[in-house]
Amino acid sequence: MDVSPRISLTSQGPEFSRIVYGMWRLNEWCLSVRERQELIEAALELGVTSFDHADIYGGYQSEELFGEALAAAPHLRKHMQLVSKCGIKLVSSRRPEHRLKSYDTSFSHIVTSAENSLRALRTEYLDLLLIHRPDPLMDADEVARAFMALRQEGKVRHFGVSNFSPAQFALLQDRLVANGMTLVTNQVECSLLHLDPVYDGTFDQAQQLKCAPILWSPLAGGSIFTDSGPVAKRIRESLTRIGEQLGESATTVLMAWLLALPCQPLPIVGSRRLDVLRESVRACQLAITKDHWFELLLSAQGSEVP
């Protein structure tokens, strides 16, 4: 059976599975506690040991659903890495103090959010905590103080960001380095339908710093397979040709395309279907040629490279 290999996000760690399991829609899957536990166990058997969460997922419910399964099988915690995110405030009956959707990267909000996630996930620590979105009012020194406090208290082991531009990443990194810490990842959107980080310096920065990015929506939320537009159609035609040549599924080829990037990204799979997870793990053993890689890129761009 193919299993996901492990990779260090930076030279100092932490070590994650190359394929990350996203829990964004866990509340929509309508699984019993036992079924959630079985899903987690199946992922671990595939070597997918890293689970991606955020406090807001499922309207502040998904972490609790995962935590219930973990409480039913606490021995599984030592075999996994838990990621959460904070910094977005949603209007929700579960957060009645929130008056409007906004961002908050204050010391108190970061610390409170992390502690809420710990309680919801039924765990004593997070392996990784990310700032979910860039906050125009972010005080980098205040964020660094919050990160330091959480680390010193043993509540969070590593820190990163999500959806940050290279400049925003560099700002916070500067403050952390001054305090003996570093960011270990930038979680960003990337797929053949969203190529921005390939060209805007995000992946160049990741490679420069040897800081592996985590990728959300690597299959464009399934749009690559369902969208009727010309771009998705061209990509599907190329996938069909390449998949037939290699004897692999479209999902495996798409994931292999991403895994070939030299910044060593870790794609997130957010499906309850284990066959999607298996096909993604299979991509870790598939080395596509540069011709295949560029054929897919050109299909997405609709023109030759300059």
Q: List the catalytic residues.
A: 57
3-state secondary structure the chain: CCCCCEEECCCCCCEEECCEEECCCHHHCCCCHHHHHHHHHHHHHCCCCEEECCCCHHHHCHHHHHHHHHHHCHHHHHHCEEEEEECEECCECCECCCCCCEECCCHHHHHHHHHHHHHHHCCCCECEEEECCCCCCCCHHHHHHHHHHHHHCCCECCEEEECCCHHHHHHHHHHHHCCCCCEEEEEEECECCECHHHHCCHHHHHHHHCCCCEEECCCHHHHHHHCCCHHHHHHHHHHHHHHHHHCCCHHHHHHHHHHCCCCCCEEEECCCCHHHHHHHHHHHHCCCCHHHHHHHHHHHHCCCCC
Those residues with Cβ within 8 angstroms of residue 66's Cβ, 6 or more apart along the chain or in another chain: 23, 26, 36, 40, 51, 53, 120, 121
Cβ proximity of 94 and 113 under 8 Å? no
